[in-house]
């Protein structure tokens, strides 16, 4: 009985790890797609436009894989929240855009919300 319980726990842990890996991939692909959207110059550049389309499709596919184990509300909040934060970082680093105090404050609040959901909420399956 103890062995089966450990095996079941390992399988569930591996499934959860796979789900969060898929969620991480979805976030990276969404940020890449958003970056390529900027580079497409309103869809006037072919390769960035096609790359953007591929990234967004793959992002949604990876998000769907994450939803096998992660509740929809949690997965979407993490995907959107971290996507916003990382897109802001790319905007500053790659496109040299400045963030004012309120933008940084808003980003900090998003990060705080994602942390509260993942660390404190009973809605998240760990």
Asked whether the whole model's pTM tops 0.95, one would answer no
- The runs of H, that is alpha helices, within the chain are 2-39, 46-66, 72-93, 101-120
What does the pLDDT look like over 3-16, one tens digit per residue? 555 666 788 889 99
pLDDT, tens digit (0-9, with 9 covering 90-100), for 28-52: 999 999 999 999 999 999 999 999 9
Domain boundaries, the chain: 2-120
Q: Please give the pLDDT value at position 10.
A: 81
Alpha carbons 102 and 110: distance in angstroms, whole number: 12
């Amino acid at each position: 009985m103890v062995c089966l319980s450990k095996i079941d726990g390992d399988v569930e842990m591996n499934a959860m790890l796979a789900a969060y890996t898929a969620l991480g991939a979805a976030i990276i692909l969404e940020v890449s797609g958003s970056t390529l959207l900027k580079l497409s110059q309103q869809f006037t550049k072919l390769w960035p436009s096609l790359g953007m389309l591929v990234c967004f499709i793959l992002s949604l596919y990876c998000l769907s894989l994450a939803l096998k184990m992660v509740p929809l509300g949690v997965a979407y909040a993490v995907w959107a929240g971290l996507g916003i934060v990382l897109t802001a970082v790319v905007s500053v680093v790659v496109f040299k855009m400045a963030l004012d105090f309120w933008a940084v404050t808003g980003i900090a609040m998003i990060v705080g919300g994602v942390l509260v959901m993942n660390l404190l909420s009973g809605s998240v399956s760990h």
